[in-house]
Amino acid sequence: MTDQTSTKEQAQLYLITPPVIDLETFPALLGKVLDVAPVACLRLALASKDENVIIKTGDALREICHARDIAIVIENHLIMVDRLGLDGVHLTDGARTVRYARKELGDDAIIGTYCAASRHDGMNAGEASAEYVSFGPCGDNALGDGSVVPTDLFQWWSDVVEVPVVAEGALTVDVIKTLSSVTDFFAIGEEIWNTDDPVAAFKTLVNAVGS
């Protein structure tokens, strides 16, 4: 997953899986979503701690992604990256384990990390060799303390830091329009999977990028 927006071209798309996946139906749905627009990366973000479930799901989604030349990363499970032939890992603890993950996975692995709204964590993660840093949530939400990442954090990051930045969490059409010029990627997940028609929901959000 590389930043192709050094001249601030249109932000790219990044998908996050639902926490629970039905392998009888989800692969076909994922394929339809991926047909909507080019996607740079898919994050396998399962709630399950069952190794067999993770392996079966990872195998199925890896085939779909690599057939489309889409990178696939897994949330937190470092040991599964090599076992499943994935492209890297997405960490959820800010800068804390980036160096360790890089040492374990090597220079070629994608290592990204979620830093909530912490500029400090983001900078430390970048210095520790993170491939990208994600900030969120970006829109109004009822989770945690309800805080929202300020637009000026993305603006500052875009102006000052070379490490690609990802906007994720509570994305809406208005939020995407606001952040399109100051983020490199939009990570879209529950915004579409929690709807009756994920394909249509994805189209709506995609159409807002750069508009």
What pLDDT sits at residue 207?
Answer: 97
Q: What is the mean pLDDT of residues 17-24?
A: 97
> Which residue range(s) make up the domain with 53?
12-208
Would you say residue 189 lies in a domain? yes
The model's confidence at residue 1, banded by pLDDT at 50, 70 and 90, is low
Would you say residue 93 lies in a domain? yes
What pLDDT sits at residue 204?
Answer: 98
Would you say residue 3 lies in a domain? no
Would you say residue 60 lies in a domain? yes
Q: What is the mean pLDDT of residues 152-163?
A: 96
The model's confidence at residue 6, banded by pLDDT at 50, 70 and 90, is very low
Taking only the tens place, the pLDDT of each residue in 8-20 is: 678 999 999 999 9
Taking only the tens place, the pLDDT of each residue in 175-187 is: 999 999 999 999 9
What pLDDT sits at residue 141?
Answer: 85
Q: What is the mean pLDDT of residues 90-115?
A: 97
Q: What is the mean pLDDT of residues 129-151?
A: 91
Please count the structural domains in the chain.
1
Would you say residue 4 lies in a domain? no
Q: What is the mean pLDDT of residues 46-65?
A: 97
Distances in whole angstroms, Cα of residue 29 to Cα of each of 21, 22, 48, 177, 179: 11, 10, 20, 26, 27
Quick check: 29 pLDDT over 60?
yes
The CATH number for 144's domain is 3.20.20.70
Would you say residue 7 lies in a domain? no
Would you say residue 98 lies in a domain? yes
Would you say residue 174 lies in a domain? yes
**Percentage of the chain with pLDDT > 90?**
91
